[in-house]
Amino acid sequence: MVTIIIPNYNGLHYLGDCLDAILPQAEEEDRHVLVVDNGSTDGSVEFLRTYPGIETLFLPDNTGFCGAVNAGIRHSHTRYVILLNNDTKVRPGYVQALIDGMEQDGKLFSISAQMLMMHSPDRIDNAGDLYTALGYAKGRGIGKPADAYDQPAEIFSSCGGAAIYRRAVFDQIGLFDETHFAYLEDVDVGYRARIYGWHSIYLPEAKVEHAGSGFSGSRYNSFKVSLTSRNSVYLPWKNMPFLQLLLNLPLLLLGYLVKTLFFVKKGLGREYVRGLSEGVKLCLKRENRDRKVRFQRKHLINYVKIQLRLWVNIFRIL
């Protein structure tokens, strides 16, 4: 029924708690835990070789979040795959809630769990992702009381840190784009699914505590800011047809300007602008042209629905 894929890169500090929490929910025959190690050097490999009850893929190099989960998805043969960050602890009933949710709606591509701050578990870490015509992606409810997000909701895309996906849809739309390496890759794959007529929801019954920034180390740092800004240029170019991109260009430019000023105040303006420049270069590379989603007239109504959502989401993030 489901493969639970846990990507790991130098996450030894978190792995034991993560696995101890998820394994009791994977004891049934139709549930399988697969850890994909991204060339860790902190003792994770030795720990995983001796940890019972899991299967592990050992990659020789760090391929980023996208490379690791893609390796896991290719290795899986189940109806669904759950992607779970290594710095999480799932609560009882998490896996079953996600499976039940998917079984109830055959047009769901993914379901995003209620991610809670591990050190403030009454607060939301992520309740699904929004994406806007400004080029901003934002997790719903960050830092807000969890009881304010106790109802299921339609979302633009699922946060890949604790979500379930319909495995067959990847055969239709492609896997996570490894050009991203990390950051916004879950918004990108959710965007592609929407173009093909699939949708995603947030389900509060599936709860997981999340330490956060387990890979990059903090909310704002040069690595994360540069990579996120790069991907924020690549993502709309890749998924929007020319006319839609032209329509959104004024708002996208406004969004990049506002973010530049924001990061200048944070002392990370140079990193943000460098990322934007790298994003433009990505769009111009010949090898990336094949990754651009080809416009098909049969998907026109889906593009219209996406555009309306991009406009509406501007007001939802304010």
CB 37 within 8 A of CB 8: yes
CB 44 within 8 A of CB 12: yes
Please report which confidence band the pLDDT of residue 220 belongs to, taking 50, 70 and 90 as the band edges. confident
Please report which confidence band the pLDDT of residue 43 belongs to, taking 50, 70 and 90 as the band edges. very high
User: What is the percent of the chain with per-residue pLDDT over 70, rounded to a whole number?
Assistant: 98
- Give the least confident one: 31-35, 110-114, 156-160, 285-289: 285-289
Other CB atoms within a 10 A radius of the CB of residue 139 amount to 19
In degrees rounded to 5, what are phi and psi of residue 110?
A: -155, 160
pTM over 0.75: yes
* Residue 56, Ramachandran bin (φ over 0: left; ψ between -120 and 50: alpha; else beta): beta
User: What is the percent of the chain with per-residue pLDDT over 90, rounded to a whole number?
Assistant: 93
In whole angstroms, give the CA distance from residue 191 to residue 179.
16
